[in-house]
Amino acid sequence: MRRLALLAVVVLLAAAMKLYATGTIEPPVNFVLQDPPRPLPQIAIADGDGKAGLLLDFRGKFVLLNVWATWCVPCRKEMPTLDRLQGLLGGPDFQVIALSIDRGGAEVVRKFFEEIGVQHIAIHLDSAGAAFQTLGVVGLPTTVLIDREGREVGRLIGPAEWDSPKMIAFLKSIVAKPTGPAPAAQPEEKHS
C-alpha cells in the first residue's frame, strides 16, 4: 500500500512538472486570478518582536500573504502546509507571510508555532485587524498572492493544501513569469 501511495505521488508530481514546463498550469480550485494584477494599498505589519513594517518592504519577490488566526480551525489545519511550502520555495523570489490577526499578540502565535513545529515561517502580526479590512477579507483563512511590484495576482478564500504538487507547480509557474509595472493609462484620443 505504501508503494502504491508513493507511486501515485511520483506520477502526480511528474504530471504537474510537465504542465509547469509547458506553462499551461491552471489555478487550483477556488484560486481566483486577477487579470491584470490589482494594486494593493499600504498594509502595516509587525514582526514577532513587535517591529513595525509594511508589506511593501517585501517588494521584489512574490509574497503569499495568508491572513489567519490561531482560533480559526481551518487556519490551524493548513499552517503546516504553508510552513512546508516556505521550506520548499522560500528564497529571494518567494516568501510565505502568515499574518496573524490574533489580539493576543506574538506569544499566542509563538506558542502555536511551537506546538505544531513550524520551522520556516516567521511570525507576522496585525493585532488591530487593519489588513483584514484593507484587503477586504471576508473569511479566514484568506490568502493573497502578491507579485514583485506589490500587486495582487490572485486570492484564495478558505484553506488549501499549499504543499500539494499541483499547488507547488502552479506557484512556480506564476513566479517564473516575468512581471513588470502596471501598464500606463493611454491618453484619450481627441476627435475633431
pLDDT digits (tens, 9 = 90+) for 60-118: 999 999 999 999 999 999 999 999 999 999 999 999 999 999 999 999 999 999 999 99
CATH superfamily, region 2-176:
Glutaredoxin (3.40.30.10)
Given this model, what pLDDT does residue 128 score?
Answer: 86
Integer angstrom CA distances of residue 146 from 55, 91, 119, 120, 149? 10, 15, 23, 19, 8
Q: What is the CB neighbour count within 10 angstroms for residue 56?
A: 14
Contact between 131 and 45 under an 8 Å Cβ cutoff? The reply is: yes
Does the pLDDT value for residue 14 go beyond 90? no
Identity of residue 31: F
Contact between 160 and 78 under an 8 Å Cβ cutoff? The reply is: yes
180-192: string of b/e by CB count within 10 Å (b at 16+)? eeeeeeeeeeeee
Q: How far is Cα 88 from Cα 80, in angstroms, rounded to an integer?
A: 12
DSSP characters for 73-121? HHHHHHHHHHHHHHHHH-BTTEEEEEEE--TT-HHHHHHHHHHHT--SP
pTM, rounded to two decimals = 0.81
Q: 138-157: per-residue pLDDT in tens?
A: 999 999 999 999 999 999 99
